[in-house]
Amino acid sequence: MITIDFPDIRFDMIWNYKELFIRGIWVTLGLTLIGYVSGVILGLLLGMGKLSKKKWIYYPCKYYVDFFRGTPLLVQILLIHLALIPTVFGESLGYFVSGALALSLNCGAYNAEIIRAGIQSIEKGQMEAGRSLGMPRGVAMRYVILPQAFRRMVPPLGNELIALLKDSSLVTVIAANDLLYAGKVVAGAYARFWEPYITVAILYLLLTYIFTKVITYVEKRFSNSYVPSQRRRIFSFGRSAAGG
């Protein structure tokens, strides 16, 4: 017969390391947000590049996206930290630079596909109407296509943010002081595994929960009608609760 011998749980050991966890949260948040913001900008450029008719623009963008979507992020992190940065700069620039760079480059590739699909989903007539009014392609893109495409990109871009937050834990392999790393340190120090990893899991859950709330807010803000007065009321829960 199998007996499962649960250890008595001791969360006090976590408390002793609270600074490490708090620092871990900040590092994870920092890496995620930097990775995401630069990933969106990069994704915009790559996504538009993949829509280009010019081969010398299209192919580099395509191969870039294929590479970063087709190889594991873990491998990319190691390549960048141990090979790329030391080769280019002659020395390591620290885990944060490597981690942020790897997440940005990776996130850019995924966002590129989202942004390309969003732009392509806008009816051809919109670009034609802009061009027929004398707008150069870039102006029509900026004022006509992107504002409409952006709304359609919000849900998948939101998913990408959550995915990136979780995937950022992979930077632990280059000894980044992120959230997961804090758990590993505690586990190593006490040779106990339940408390540190459960704590790590709960903290990630908390972060994804907060991010999900923000994303839902943005989605509602941009969903349905373009008419401001007909947009879904975001704070309506306050009213309905008061009104009964």
Q: CA-CA distance, 24 to 33, in Å (whole number)?
A: 14
Residues 6+ apart with CB under 8 A from 175: 95, 181
**Listed ranges 54-62, 91-99, 130-138, 231-239: which one lies at the site for other proteins (CB under 8 A):** 130-138
Among 63, 120, 226, 236, binds other proteins (CB under 8 A): 226
Looking at beta carbons only, is 51 or 122 nearer to other proteins?
Answer: 122
- Smallest separation, CB 231 to other proteins (Å): 11
52 binding other proteins? (CB under 8 A): no
- Separation of alpha carbons 121 and 151, rounded Å: 11
Kindly identify the residues of this chain, within the stretch 69-108, that bind other proteins according to CB under 8 A. Answer: none
Stretch that binds other proteins, among 61-69, 72-80, 96-104, 141-149 (CB under 8 A): 141-149
Separation in Å, CA 74 to CA 69, 80, 83: 12, 10, 13
Is residue 232 a contact residue for other proteins (CB under 8 A)?
Answer: no
| Listed residue (48, 223, 222) closest to 119, CA to CA | 48
**Cβ-contact 117, 43 below 8 angstroms:** no
Nearer to other proteins, 72 or 147 (CB): 147
* Under rule CB under 8 A, residue 154 binds other proteins: no
Q: Using CB under 8 A, which of the segments 52-60, 187-195, 220-228, 236-244 binds other proteins?
A: 220-228
The contact set with other proteins (CB under 8 A) reads 123, 125-126, 128-136, 139, 143-144, 147-148, 225-227
